[in-house]
Amino acid sequence: MVQILAVDDDAEVLATVGRVLKNEAYEVTLVNSAAQALSFLEKQIPDLMLLDIIMPEMDGITLCRKLREDSRFIPLPILFLTAKGSTDDIVGGLDAGADDYVIKPFELAELRARIAALLRRGTRDKKNDAVLQLNDLRLDSDTYQVYIDDFSIQLTSTEHRLLRYLMEHPNQALSPSHLLQAVWEYPPNTGDPDLVRAHVRNLRAKIEKGTHR
Amino acid sequence: MVQILAVDDDAEVLATVGRVLKNEAYEVTLVNSAAQALSFLEKQIPDLMLLDIIMPEMDGITLCRKLREDSRFIPLPILFLTAKGSTDDIVGGLDAGADDYVIKPFELAELRARIAALLRRGTRDKKNDAVLQLNDLRLDSDTYQVYIDDFSIQLTSTEHRLLRYLMEHPNQALSPSHLLQAVWEYPPNTGDPDLVRAHVRNLRAKIEKGTHR
DNA sequence: TATTATTTCATAAATATTTCACGGATTTTG
DNA sequence: CAAAATCCGTGAAATATTTATGAAATAATA
């Protein structure tokens, strides 16, 4: 469940934002001051924070700066949602460490899209380590290793490409000539089917050795 | 060196953007069509892309969608820079997988700040501390020294850059050509793999000598 | 110039990739 | 049905690529 913290001293704005985001199936927490935000953040770190700038006591810019100095909150995406709309304001907000800046009054559709873009970006990087899982096999493209249950096996790069292709096309009958094109990038009708067999054999040997350990 | 690719069919806009970004000490590549952008991206992946929407042949939205389907370009931050300014346009652009959306005519200061915010977000996760610790190794970027347990070893600057890169990417399989680009900043497919090996060897010698002391 | 750092070259060893050869099982074909 | 062709597993050899190691050439620095 994606969790969003919204901080604004205007109860009406806060309610609107809360309603819209809940409709999007986000889990929303609403607070009306920087102090409350801080005490919430001590307990848990949301996936994204919406922040007003003009607030009594501590303003949004100050809060944002403060958070960015704390290593726990460095990855937290922050989106300013504020009536201050001059170029200087925008630049100031972004320079304080925010990730996006939306001016009130805002179009709900745009706010939704910008929130989605920020969240997407967050998950995009994590997903990027390209692990592919299928039954007991877990394939990691960074380390070039296969984990079978939890035992790791070292693969060569061709074996890795082949296994990855097979795992990406499970339950499919793949002819040698198809694999030569897909994995080895040979032109059609070139390449030796023996090549595929040799590698399939080596793969099997390594994987089977892993299983009964 | 941070590298930015700007794509726009309007030569004037392109020139302005190029000039401004070069002033910010970015390395900028300017192209005037989606096709040119694609052929550039085949060769190298920049740190950020600025993209116009309305272009002859392939438009920016299509290009963006296409890139997001390719795992190599999933992490690439994309910022739309376009005259299409309705809420629907913005939502459409962000939904196509972009990270930000700036409307022409734009304030240069805002564009700068938004670019900086996107880039900052990219580097934010990799902690850029002066000292980096991994297992027994502690690397200090100020003094160019490595402490192994508590014995210090003197490294040359290339060795230091290499070791730092390796420590920042633990458990990853890194090819010599990858390292030539990442550590030596050679263009793709240039540089001698022997170079990497020579330095790896020297590093090993120094580190291993440190361990059995 | 002397010293050190960086890069290139040469060669051997290790590994990875590809090709070849044989035999049994299965399928195709006359 | 039987001969021929094909498929698939296996052993092994040939080739290519990568890696380790010694050493020398070039570049940078003091």
Instruction: Tell me the per-residue pLDDT of A3-26, one tens digit each, with 9 for 90 and over.
Output: 999 999 999 999 999 999 999 999
What percent of chain B has a predicted confidence (pLDDT) above 90? 64
- How far, in Å, is the CA of B158 from the C1' of nucleotide D30? 19
Q: From the CA of A155 to the C1' of D20: give the distance in Å.
A: 21
> What residues contact residue A122 under an 8 Å CB cut-off, 6+ apart?
A47, A48, A75, A77
A195 touches strand D (CB under 7 A): no
Confidence of residue B177 (pLDDT cuts 50, 70, 90): very high
Tokens of A109: 């559709």
Specify the residue for token string 């009406």: A12
**Which residues of B in 146-175 have their CB below 7 Å from strand C's atoms?**
154, 156-159
Residue B99 has pLDDT above 90, yes or no: yes
- Written as one letter, the residue type at A47 is D
> What six digits make up the tokens of A96?
């304080």
**CB–CB of A34/A8 below 8 Å?**
no
Q: Which nucleotide is nearest to A204 (CA to C1')?
A: D9
DSSP states of B105-141: S--HHHHHHHHHHHHHHHHHSS---SEEEETTEEEET
Is there a contact between B28 and B84 (Cβ–Cβ < 8 Å)? no
Q: Which residue from A34, A26, A25, A28 is spatially nearest to A14, judged by alpha carbons?
A: A28
A41 pLDDT more than 80: yes
Q: What are phi and psi of B108, to 5 degrees?
A: -60, -40
**Residues A97 and A89 sit within 8 Å (Cβ to Cβ):** no
Nearest Cα neighbor of B18 from B32, B35, B33 is: B32
Amino acid B129 CA to nucleotide D18 C1' distance, rounded Å? 34
CA distance B213 to chain A (A): 30
Model confidence at A70: pLDDT above 80? yes
Q: For residues A164 and A149, which has the higher predicted lDDT (pLDDT)?
A: A164
Lowest mean pLDDT among A61-65, B140-144, B150-154, B155-159: B140-144
DSSP state of A73: G
- Listed as ranges, the nucleotides of chain D within 7 A of a protein C-beta are 8-12, 19-23
- Residue in A49, A100, A108 to test binding to B, most B beta-carbons within 10 Å: A100
CA distance B178 to B174: 6
